[in-house]
Structure 1
Amino acid sequence: MTATHPAPYRSEESLVPAQPGHAAHEQRHLVLSLVSMTAVILASLSLNGVIEGWLWLPPVILTVGSVSTAMAVIRSLGFPGPLIFVAGLLALVGVLNWQYFPDQSILGVIPGPDTPERVTLLLNNAEDTVVSQLAPVLPDVGILLVVSATTGLIAVLVDTSAITLRMPAASGIILLMVLFPAAIIKTDSIGIPAFVAAVTGYLLLLAVAQWRERPRRTAGTGRSSEGHLTWAVSIGATALTITIMLPLVTPGFDSGLFPQGSRLNPWGAATGLNPSVTLGNDLRNPAGFGRITYATNAMEPLYLRSSTLEDFSGQRWEPDQRLDSRRAGIEEIRAGEPISDGSPILTTITTQSFTSPWLLAPYAPISVTNLEGRWTWDPQNLTILAADGGSTAQQSYQVRSSIPTLTRELLAGIGPVPDGEVPQAFIALPDDIPAPIETTARELTAETANPYDKAMAIQNYLRSEEFTYSLEAPVDGGYDGNSMGVIERFLEVKAGYCVHFAGTMAVMARLLGIPSRVAVGYAPGTPTGNTVEGPRGEELTEFAVDSRDAHAWPELYFRNVGWVKFEPTPGRSAVPDYAQAQPLPPEAVADDSLTPRDSPLDAAGSPPSTPATSPDQSDAPEGRDGSGRSWAVTTGMLLALICVTPFLRRRTRSAHRRRLLTSGTTIHNPARIAWAETTEIAADYGYRRMSSDTPRSFAERLKLEAALDGQAAVSLSKLQYAYEIEEYAPTTGFTRQAAGTLPNWEDVQTVIKALRRSTKLSSRFRAQLLPHSLRNPFQPKRKTWL
């Protein structure tokens, strides 16, 4: 009798000799997806310094992690490359909607009909932030949206290049896009730490992409792919070291990783203080930035004026530079407008890091000295602007100004302004003014007789208890800006900050025939406790302001007096004596002179018992709670990815076997593949083979223990018989097919479904999340059927 030696039970690698290592190769995609995500996040660290602080990082991690996870899952399920790319884009849209447009989206992730309007608003806010602030810009919602969307798209492209298209080296070009903003905007360029982080991520991506390919002998050379990996890492590390060290010994490299000099500013001249819509971003910064000090011999702290807004016809109100009518020679400024006689005031201003082409000065300046650069002034509004691309940065200069002597009685006795006395720019209004604005203005002034009484009626209305000072209400309500539509919405909600109060009073004044404009600059700030010696030895009291003191206020024109400042914003700075609603006791006047960051009054002037309307509380950044939530979600997603990894690997192996058996192509060992899938899934559900089992004895025991009958029992017998024929009596594929022993994937599925029905719910979860068949996946045990 001829003895038949049992054949070994092989893992998938040995079952498909035509495609060795394919399953392990597919499983390593998960690791490469994780590394691809890490490379994008490491490259994004260069944005620190372009954007202030680190509040932008959690949304970036959440966005990139969601995109990479979605693409990894779809890839593990065996979908083709184009669908994986589409899945990444859909995941990007979903996570952006969840983070930035939850109220406008369907189910929180699907764009809704109101999403485009919200997107437009946030993009406009981001544009205003970029063109009006120096780096680092504040991480407002619009900026976070742009950064998250950009890095998410880059994550999709890197994943597609490195994994789907198998071109990991080309993904480095895509990663350079993340470094581009820092390279052209930051003063010290990318910086060595951020550059090292980005290159480390790229080298790690190359290394894992090489590791993904199964080690194999290269024909004719005797080298394995590990040898190429060693060379790649060595070359990359050497290039990184040279890149870091070379600038240190090369003349002209002062700092950073690129030659220093004039940095490229793709957005045009920075303004330091945004003169319009994003002034609220400066106010919302809880720490303050751009500290400025000034020392003056004035009896009261001063407003520092930068520019004015006069054209109210557009969707956004911006300063008109009027370059064709500006005059040189700021050492002596002869105003083209009447200014009441007053004592000259001397103010010394030190800008430090504040950078703007608009010069800060008290109103109304009559001379500016000790200022570097070429500057011009506008006869119509007395604003001072750099003429040669210069700025206020690191300047210390003296301003002499004239403070008019104004009283309630003086202003109340002035009549309307005759036609032609002031330029048309200060009285013009668009034709499509919303009706509620005009109606409100007419109703408030129905019983007033002169311009001063009309102005006081508007100011008193805006400072009344009906209105609330709020930095967040305009953002949440979608009217954080300045235009006629914004003013209409502000009058409906009755909550906003200085831009809204000042713009509303200026527009209402023009409706009533009073020329007006909006001044932008800084409220008086707080005393430092120091004194500074003036140019002639006089003692000057020093004050400090920063972004938290950014302010806008209306200026109204009165005949033979000039432009007069009013203060309609509740809880902000001091109301001038001539604009007080009624005489106040000394203690009330003192309290009203405090700025919001140290005032005991709330936004409406009420006691602090109403914390919801406190300017201090409204200044709290929205990003803190969002940051904590984003970190929690990111951590949860990473944990979820770890938990589902066994499930995905099991599904990947099964999907690969299904493709082999259903592709229609001839393979060498279909019965072994089908039997391996059946026995492994059975083990996952708790029906494990014993060392003494033969294929037939295991099949019989499985039928008994799992109570398989009917079609499931027939399918199991077919699979077992096909395996025995292929393993012990090899024949051609044609003979097997003719004999009816060619295995069918439907038989495998029939058995698996029956096994699932026969197990408890807990066993089903364990089979999915912790499949027994994946133990030692890279070194599968060799078992023998006896």
Structure 2
Amino acid sequence: MTATLERPVADSRQAPGTAAEGPARPDYAHWAVSAAAGAGVLAASTSLNGVIEPWTWFGPVFNTVLPVMIAMSLARTLRLPGLVTLLAGLLALGGCLTSRFVPDQSILGVIPGPGTGVQLQILLNHAEDTVTSQAAPVLPGAGIFLVTCAAIGLIAIAVDTLATTLRMPAVSGIGLLALMVVPAVVKPLGVGMVPFLLTVAAYLLLLGCAQWREGLLAASADTGSTGYLGRGLAVGAAAVAVTVLLPLAIPGFNSGAFPQGARLNVWGSSSGLNPAVTLGNDLRNPAGFGRVTYATNSPEPVYLRAVTLEDFAGQRWEPDQRRDEREPGLQGMGSESVRSAGEFGATAFTRINTDSYTSPWLLAPYAPVSVASLNGRWTWDPKNLSILSYDGGTSVRQEYEVISTLPDLTEERLSAIRPAPKGAVAPVFTELPEDTPGIVLETTEEVTGRLRNPYDQAIAIQNFLRSRDFTYSVDAPVEGGYDGSSMGVMARFLETRAGYCVHYAGTMAVMARAAGIPSRVAVGYTPGSTTGDLEAGPDGMELREFAVDSRNAHAWPELYFNGVGWVRFEPTPSRGVVPDYAQTITSPFNVRVDDYDNLNPGAADVPQGTAADPEATAAAAADPAAAQSRAAAAGTAVAAGLLLALLPLLIRSARTASRRRRVLSGGGPGAAAAAWVQTTEAAGDYGHPALPTDTPRAFSQRLRADAGLHGPAAVSLERLQRAFEREEYAGPEAAPAAGAGVALLAAPAASWDDVTAVTAALRERSSLPARLRARFFPRSLLRPTR
């Protein structure tokens, strides 16, 4: 490596970092090298797609790398020392990060100001939670964006410094390689061939630009070529060989080699929807960001439940694993009453595919009585029917089948149930800590004070939280520790009356206990959205498929009713699905099946004025400015839709007009070919495409037969064919020969009228759907004729 980097320095040539003797020629070629270095960093960063999902991260990265490259190039243009150039890049990076991630705490938008450190610490904590609690691909949050932009910005500075300032472009490839290490070991399929090839191409471009620059500098010093390109290619080939072969000898790379299959899991196997961390952060950044699908014969879409929280003491609520009380074997789950409900009542069959969701807690509809086809050793908790891995296993890429009960719950049945007797459930489901805030107890008394029936109390609490006095928000709660659980958080929620599902579910559970109803908080996913696919279940049953992802992460309360068991309620407005037995005429909210609980910081708050809110509707109608704005937005959307729908037609018309001008220009070179291509594409648009093996004559004969062309249209088609053959195959100096050759060379030139005649005949002999497809969605745009 040392020999590769050494360069002889002649007396007449300026060495890196030294002053030249005499006036030096201006070096503007460094701009090209810096541009190539930036392109290389951006190309290598494309491998991060799949580590962070989706491409939302690329814009911030691009807007970070570009100013850094420009700042360093300007410093070199001003002939500043190399150390000052490096400092300029670092300052530009700091300004970009400040303006993007902490603008409110900055001075003039780019200089860190008071409070910057605190806000950065919050973002770094979010990034740490993302790394420790998620499996790739992770959520595109502000914290992980900050770390990504900072890391790639530093790599860009290093690559540019090596390639341009120190004039060591071959070594700068180490920075590109370092950028691809993370996706190589984290992504299930490695870096991927496309990002890898893009990076290699960008690296070769960098070497070529550096060689060109060195050639210019060498010419000014009357020295020979430095041979950077050859040495760079040698170093690059060696580096690629090492990166491909080295993982084969490293334990943990168990599914191929870099860049296609290195799968060393450096984060461990127990990451997912993990309530052991602060619940708000965990719901905001669930590891199950990848899609989870389930197919069920349940008449209603099901909630997928991972675990429940019962102990409301402490600064954060965590699930009690109760490993000493858990039972093995998932074929006979549940209490005797639960199993009997499955034997004599309705049951649901659900097939779940976890894909990239990874957690020691298993997703299942409530209440499960049997789980089959599951890999690993799993146990279940008799108190809450949660399913936990016994040996540190994970739910990732599992496909299993769950049979769960469907209790017959109605408003009449629940309203007839009296309060549960003491000892009906374990004390952990009824206990309230001594430091329960007074506002919780006082609010519960105000809402349920004159009610004695548990069902009436539960409905009153649910309707109170779903009223217009509360606002669903993921922005307001974040500061000051409000973004989490604990009794203090519930108290602040009742004061501010703004929060998201964690606060609504926790508050209803606490208020239910204060009213004497046993409660717990369930953590999992709302039903999601249907994919439209159907699967076959056992005994010929038909299963509808649904999909959920991190946007469906949710928390909801479960209340205990004597003789029935645990019953789900939905206090979070505009989120989740309110069960039929919990819907009342006082609830002002509609429900929906595809119900994303947007838990990402920075997402817009969900307003309380929905279509079911007459006051909000009237207020909106009374605001002419708002109505005009909505009308303008609707008009813009309609115009954009029409433009998109007409885009194929416009492209096809423009191409047809270009060919028509060529044909009508006097029959110059290429005119016959343009007419023939237009004809063959029109035939393909109307359902008669040319085959790859077709000669012009074979295609012409088949088209006449298939499309029923005769008369003038057939004559025009033959004229177009013969004109194309003459232009394509007969040289300009070819002499007429006997027979067919004479006819070929003597054929008259085709005209645009022939194209029009054939096209009109094809259109007349086509059905209406075929005509519409040919005009608005021509297949020739996807498969143009060569």
Give the alignment's TM-score, normalised by structure 1. 0.63
Amino acid at match of 2:548: D
Which residue of structure 2 lines up, in the alignment, with residue 95 of structure 1?
96
1:261-308 deviations in whole A, cap 9, x for unaligned? Answer: 7532425423268894357658999xx951412222x45433221222
Which residue of structure 2 lines up, in the alignment, with residue 401 of structure 1?
405
Amino acid at match of 2:155: I
Which residue of structure 2 lines up, in the alignment, with residue 106 of structure 1?
107
Amino acid at match of 2:426: V
Change (3 A) 1:210 1:261: closer
Change (3 A) 1:152 1:217: closer
Q: Report the Cα offset of residue 116 of structure 1.
A: 3.2
Which residue of structure 2 lines up, in the alignment, with residue 764 of structure 1?
none
1:540-555 matches, within 5 Å, as: 540-547=542-549, 548-555=551-558
How far apart in 1 are the matches of 2:536 and 2:227? 71
Q: Report the Cα offset of residue 139 of structure 1.
A: 1.6
Amino acid at match of 1:232: R
Which residue of structure 2 lines up, in the alignment, with residue 232 of structure 1?
231
Contact 2:185/2:262, CA 8 A, preserved across alignment: no
For the residue of structure 2 that corresponds to 1:38, the secondary structure is helix
How far apart in 2 are the matches of 1:371 and 1:354? 15
Amino acid at match of 2:574: G
Q: Report the Cα offset of residue 61 of structure 1.
A: 1.0
1:367-382 matches, within 5 Å, as: 367-382=370-385
Change (3 A) 1:262 1:174: closer
Which residue of structure 2 lines up, in the alignment, with residue 508 of structure 1?
511
For the residue of structure 1 that corresponds to 2:403, the secondary structure is strand
How far apart in 2 are the matches of 1:361 and 1:605? 32
Which residue of structure 1 lines up, in the alignment, with residue 140 of structure 2?
139
Which of the numbers 563, 573, 579 marks the counterpart of 2:582?
579
1:240-255 matches, within 5 Å, as: none
Contact 1:162/1:170, CA 8 A, preserved across alignment: yes
How far apart in 2 are the matches of 1:110 and 1:446? 55
How far apart in 2 are the matches of 1:421 and 1:253? 47
1:667-710 deviations in whole A, cap 9, x for unaligned? Answer: xxxxxxxxxxxxxxxxxxxxxxxxxxxxxxxxxxxxxxxxxxxx
Which residue of structure 2 lines up, in the alignment, with residue 178 of structure 1?
179
Q: Which moved more, 1:473-482 or 1:260-269?
A: 473-482
1:14-33 matches, within 5 Å, as: 19-20=20-21, 23-24=24-25, 27-33=28-34
For the residue of structure 2 that corresponds to 1:43, the secondary structure is helix
1:76-102 deviations in whole A, cap 9, x for unaligned? Answer: 445444444343333222211211222
How far apart in 1 are the matches of 2:236 and 2:86? 31
Q: Report the Cα offset of residue 554 of structure 1.
A: 0.8
Which of the numbers 550, 554, 565 marks the counterpart of 2:568?
565
Contact 1:273/1:521, CA 8 A, preserved across alignment: no
Contact 2:214/2:225, CA 8 A, preserved across alignment: no
Change (3 A) 1:153 1:329: same
> Is the counterpart of residue 387 in structure 1 residue 390 in structure 2?
yes
1:238-637 matches, within 5 Å, as: 238-239=237-238, 257=258, 260=261, 262-266=263-267, 268-271=269-272, 276-277=279-280, 290-296=291-297, 298-312=298-312, 317-335=317-335, 341=341, 343-351=345-353, 353-357=355-359, 358-388=361-391, 389-401=393-405, 403=407, 405=409, 407=411, 410=414, 413-415=417-419, 418=422, 421-424=425-428, 427=431, 429=433, 431=435, 437=440, 439-449=442-452, 451-470=454-473, 481-483=484-486, 487-488=490-491, 490-512=493-515, 514-526=517-529, 534-537=537-540, 539-547=541-549, 548-582=551-585, 592=591, 594-596=593-595, 606-607=611-612
1:654-665 matches, within 5 Å, as: none
How far apart in 2 are the matches of 1:472 and 1:439? 27
Where relative contact order (Cα < 8 A, 6+ residues apart) is larger, the structure is 1
1:426-466 deviations in whole A, cap 9, x for unaligned? Answer: 635484x6665555444434444455444333211111122
**Aligned pairs, number:** 585
Change (3 A) 1:25 1:320: farther
> Is the counterpart of residue 193 in structure 1 residue 197 in structure 2?
no
Contact 2:275/2:318, CA 8 A, preserved across alignment: no
Contact 1:277/1:480, CA 8 A, preserved across alignment: yes
Q: Report the Cα offset of residue 223 of structure 1.
A: 11
Q: Which has the larger radius of gyration?
A: 1
Contact 2:349/2:404, CA 8 A, preserved across alignment: yes
Contact 1:284/1:471, CA 8 A, preserved across alignment: no
Change (3 A) 1:41 1:313: farther
How far apart in 1 are the matches of 2:586 and 2:300? 18
* Runs of at least 5 residues in structure 1 that lack an aligned partner in the other structure: 1-11, 614-786
Amino acid at match of 1:186: K
For the residue of structure 2 that corresponds to 1:557, the secondary structure is strand
Contact 2:56/2:140, CA 8 A, preserved across alignment: yes
Amino acid at match of 2:301: P
How far apart in 2 are the matches of 1:573 and 1:142? 27
Contact 1:168/1:206, CA 8 A, preserved across alignment: yes
Q: Report the Cα offset of residue 74 of structure 1.
A: 3.7
Which residue of structure 2 lines up, in the alignment, with residue 725 of structure 1?
none
Amino acid at match of 1:355: Y
Change (3 A) 1:384 1:336: farther
Which residue of structure 2 lines up, in the alignment, with residue 682 of structure 1?
none
Contact 2:61/2:148, CA 8 A, preserved across alignment: yes
How far apart in 1 are the matches of 2:86 and 2:315? 38
For the residue of structure 2 that corresponds to 1:460, the secondary structure is helix
Amino acid at match of 2:135: L
Contact 2:350/2:403, CA 8 A, preserved across alignment: yes
Change (3 A) 1:156 1:495: same
For the residue of structure 2 that corresponds to 1:277, the secondary structure is helix
How far apart in 1 are the matches of 2:313 and 2:74? 52
How far apart in 2 are the matches of 1:152 and 1:262? 26
Q: Report the Cα offset of residue 376 of structure 1.
A: 1.4
Change (3 A) 1:254 1:265: closer
Amino acid at match of 1:386: S
* Runs of at least 5 residues in structure 2 that lack an aligned partner in the other structure: 1-12, 598-605, 621-786
Which residue of structure 2 lines up, in the alignment, with residue 754 of structure 1?
none
How far apart in 2 are the matches of 1:92 and 1:485? 39
How far apart in 1 are the matches of 2:167 and 2:433? 61
Contact 1:291/1:351, CA 8 A, preserved across alignment: yes
How far apart in 1 are the matches of 2:264 and 2:243? 20
Change (3 A) 1:181 1:512: farther
Change (3 A) 1:163 1:392: closer
How far apart in 1 are the matches of 2:539 and 2:260? 44
For the residue of structure 2 that corresponds to 1:376, the secondary structure is strand
For the residue of structure 2 that corresponds to 1:69, the secondary structure is helix
